Structure 1
Amino acid sequence: MSNNEGFFNKVYEVVKLIPSGRVTTYGAIASAIGSPGAGRMVGWAMNKAFSQPCFVPAHRVLNRNGQLTGKHAFPNADTMQELLESEGVEVENDKVKNFENIFWKPERVVD
C-alpha cells in the first residue's frame, strides 16, 4: 500500500463517520488523522472517493468557510448540493447555511 493509499483510507474512515445532516472540513479531517495542514490532500482523497467499493459521503466535506468547493468532483454541478439538501442541510450560493451549527468535529484517530 502506498503512503497516499494509507492516507486516503484514513480519510475515508473518518468521512464515513460524519452523521447525516452534518458537515465537516478538509482541515478538520486532516487534523483528526494526525496530519494538520494536509487539508488539500484530504481534498484529493475526496476527488477519488467515488472509486471506493463502499459509499463515502464526500458531499459532507467542505472548505473552512462552508463552501462546496468539491462539487466539481461529483457527477454534475448540482449533485453535492442535492445530496446535502436531501439530508436537511440548507445551501445557498454554493455555501452551507448555519455552517457553524451543523459543523461536526471528528475525534482524533489513533493508529
Structure 2
Amino acid sequence: MDTRLPAHLEVNGFIRAAQAAGGFGMVLNKGERDGGTILIVMVENQGLAVLYERMPQLDGTRKWDQVKVQVSENKSDFDDYLDRRSTQDPDVWIVELTVADRERFVRDNLT
C-alpha cells in the first residue's frame, strides 16, 4: 500500500506552510495531481534560489536533498534546468517558496 500523500495536497501544504511563516508560495509548473514528482525552489529574501528534490534512499525512505544552487554569475542556468525538467517530465510539480529563513523552513517542513 502506498502511504504517500497525493502531490496536489502536499504542494498545497508547502505553500500554506510558507505563508504561515510569513513567506509566499506559488506553483511554477503543475504536475500530475496524485503522483507527480515535486521540486521545491526555495528563495530566501528574494535572493538566489536553491532546488530541493525528494530522492529515494538505500533503506527505501525518501529524503529531501539539495540538488541545485543558483549562482549569481549564471542565474539563467538554474531556470534552464527547471525548464528541462518540466519538458522531460510533464508530471513534475515545480513549487517556488520565498521565506525569510530557508534552513529553518527546510528543517521544519521538508522532512
Same structural fold, with TM-score higher than 0.5 when normalized by the shorter chain: no
TM bracket, shorter-chain basis = under 0.3
Larger Rg: 2
Higher share in strand: 2
TM-score by length of 1: 0.27
TM-score, length basis structure 2? 0.27
Q: Which has the higher helix share?
A: 1
